[in-house]
Structure formats: structure tokens, C-alpha cells
Amino acid sequence: MSKAKPNWRILKDRGLTKPDDILTTLYAFEPPVDVNAIAEHLGVVVHPVPEPGWSGALTVINDHAVAWLHMGEVEERRRFTLAHELGHLMLHDVTKAFRDVSFDGSVQESEANRFAVDLLMPMWMLDPVFHHAKTDAGVDHLAAMFKVSRAAMTRRLHELFHGVIPL
């Protein structure tokens, strides 16, 4: 009798590793993206850690994935960290643990960050509401709507709309 694969492994085996693949599979079409529900659906166990000295980590042993999150951080940061760890899970070799304390900007860390941004603030979700919120107050409104930090939303808007929102 074979052990059933977790959903993250099934999606990965099918090549469905992009944030849009996951959002579409889970019918997540409006903000805020429920990153905890996504982790649960993928079969990732999330463990809070009180004072680890880092924001998050991911371990996978025999297809059993665990994301470790620093619970002392604000909700927006924890959401981004969990999305980042899911990025490692879906994009990288999961036979090793991921825990970046150096912030050295490695390719894998950059890819996990990009995954998190695209999962939490996908262009197709952000574009329809952006045009109603071009002011400074609009950035705060969008950050609250997507449950991300003001800095993350400002960077995303700057990236997507070619400098319409200055950094």
C-alpha cells in the first residue's frame, strides 16, 4: 500500500508551481489571499516559534512539510514569510532546510520572495482596484485590503505600474 502524496507534491509533480497555479486551483480570486488556508490545503504544517532569531524556516522530511514562523512579528510579516516558505516548497529542492539569516540575496531567496509577492499581490487581483487608489492614502487602503505592509504594497505598485507610485 503506497503512502498518499501531499497536495504540494501532487501540484509540483504536475508542474503547477507558480502562484497563479495555486490560486486558481484553490479558487482564490479576491484579496486578501488566505495564505494559511493555502498552506493547509498544500499539506504544510505551520508551527509558531516564539523567539527563533529568524522570520521563518521550511523543513521537508519524507514529503512532510513544516513551515516554522516567528510569531512575534506582525501579521503582515508572518503572511509574507509563510508565502515565502511556500515558494521554497514549490520552487526548490526540498531535501534541505531553508532558513536564511544572512539576507545575502541568494537566487533561491529572491525566487521565494518573488513567489510570495506574486501569491499575496497578483497583478490580476491588484489591477482592478489600483485605479481607484492612486493617492498616498490609496496605498494604505490597498495594503490593508491585501493584508501586506505599506512598504510591500508600495514596491509592488511601483513595479507593476512603472513608477506611477514612487518608492
pLDDT tens-digit profile of 86-131?
Answer: 999 999 988 766 565 545 578 889 999 999 999 999 999 998 888 7
84 in Cβ contact with 77 (< 8 Å): no
Could you tell me how far CA 103 lies from the centroid of its own chain? 17
Q: Is 149 exposed, middle or buried (0-12, 13-18, 19+ CB in 10 A)?
A: middle
SS (H, E, C) 71-138: CCCCHHHHHHHHHHHHHHHHHCCCCCCECCCCCCCCHHHHHHHHHHHHHHCCHHHHHHHHCCCCCHHH
Which one, of 152, 20, 30, 23, lies nearest residue 80 by Cα? Answer: 152
pLDDT tens-place string over residues 8-52? 999 999 999 999 999 999 999 999 999 999 999 999 999 999 988
Fold (topology level) of 7-120: Arc Repressor Mutant, subunit A (1.10.10)
Q: pTM for this structure?
A: 0.89
